[in-house]
Structure 1
């Protein structure tokens, strides 16, 4: 599923350029992706579309609020991913409502624990679906493996 999500991110710079799901299914199949993976990815995207549609109803969060994680969220995300979400939020990249959307979409994968690289893909897909581009340094953080970084 995550290979398909990255393929979409890299192939369609804006979500409006992405074809409707019927045509997209055929294109992904022609690109060599398995049907089960295609359907899983498209179901996940439908869930993202539905969740993005509900963003207008989000309430403002106090800047002094502290996010407590339920056990199910801890099991799915793990401490590394929670730390990463905190980093993005502290950097001003991920607003509280986008953090909640990220957590919801992470839980929707059903993976426990969710690898950090998959969480990064989820964050990228949320920005992509909202047609927003994060700061270049954050994009680098989302794409480059920690082991591949060059320290200056």
Structure 2
């Protein structure tokens, strides 16, 4: 499923190509690209649920763009999916104002919805990009995150 999300993001969203709205046409294209039909439906459902998260009723415990800083306490299930480097990266993004409380929770929700056995920091970065791209008003944060992902320095930092 994650491979399909990456394919869609790279070929439609990130490349600014016209996104196909017809699910049947999109499904056919993904089948031709070699993806399994069950995984395609899971990926499309994942994207629909991402869009649903923008509705403030879907996460009533959050206030929109709350200025109050908070510490996130992770559940055991979240701890098993998000390793220390991923949790640290999320915290870093909050500290530099790329993620706010709302988008952080959206990211964690979408990470937990993935049915992948192994989830790495690089995977998290892509999920964050997908979330920020889909949340109106976060264009600047998306741009900053894009810079972090694509402009990573090679080799050790001195």
- In the superposition, the TM-score normalised over structure 1's length comes to 0.80
Q: 2:63 corresponds to which residue? A: 59
Aligned length: 150
Per-residue CA distance 1:108-127 (angstroms, 9 max, x = gap): 11446521122112111112
Superposed, 1:42-81 pairs within 5 Å as: 42-54=44-56, 58-60=62-64, 61=66, 63-81=68-86
Q: How far did residue 135 of structure 1 move?
A: 5.6
Q: In 2, are the aligned partners of 1:4 and 1:38 still within 8 Å (CA)? A: yes
Q: 1:95 corresponds to which residue? A: 100
Superposed, 1:127-142 pairs within 5 Å as: 127-130=132-135, 132=139, 134=141, 136-142=143-149
Q: Matched residues in 2 for 1:101 and 1:15: separation?
A: 25
Q: In 2, are the aligned partners of 1:81 and 1:116 still within 8 Å (CA)? A: yes
Q: How far did residue 141 of structure 1 move?
A: 2.3
2:124 to 111, 119, 125: 119
Q: In 1, are the aligned partners of 2:5 and 2:43 still within 8 Å (CA)? A: yes
Q: How far did residue 15 of structure 1 move?
A: 9.1
- SS at 1:52 equivalent: coil
The CA RMSD over aligned residues, in Å, is: 2.8
Of structures 1 and 2, the one with the larger relative CO (CA 8 A, separation 6+) is 1
2:43 to 24, 38, 41: 41
**Structure 1 segments (4+ residues) deviating >4 Å:** none
User: Structure 1's 133 and 20: CA in aligned 2 closer, same or farther, altered over 3 A?
Assistant: farther
Q: Matched residues in 2 for 1:149 and 1:97: separation?
A: 32
Q: How far did residue 101 of structure 1 move?
A: 0.6
